[in-house]
Amino acid sequence: IACAHGTQIFASNSGKVIRAEYHYSYGNYVVVDHGGGISTLYAHMSSNAVAVGDYVQAGQLLGYCGLTGNTSGYHLHFETRVNGSTVDPQGYLW
C-alpha cells in the first residue's frame, strides 16, 4: 500500500502484538494476533510504536511508513495470515 514517509500505520483490528522487531527483508515490522488463528503483519515501517505483549485496539497506531528492509519505495507491506498461511486480505478487512 503506497504511503508517504512518516504516514501513520494503524491496526486493522484489535489484538495482541506478537512480533515488533527488525527483519532483513520486512525491515521494521509488527504482527498482531487477532485470535481464532488470524493475524496481520505490517512491514517496512520507519519505526514501530508498539512492543511485543501490547494489546492494541482497532485503529491504534502501530508505527510509521518507511523504507526499511528489502524495498525500493515507500509503502506498507500488509499481510493477513490464517493459521500461519498468508491469504488474500480482502475477506478479512474489518
d(CA 51, CA 19) in angstroms, rounded, equals 8
Catalytic residue among 5, 23, 44, 75: 75
The helix/strand/coil state of 34 is strand
User: In the annotation, is 23 catalytic?
Assistant: no
Question: Residue 89 gets which letter from DSSP?
Answer: G
So which residues are the catalytic ones?
75
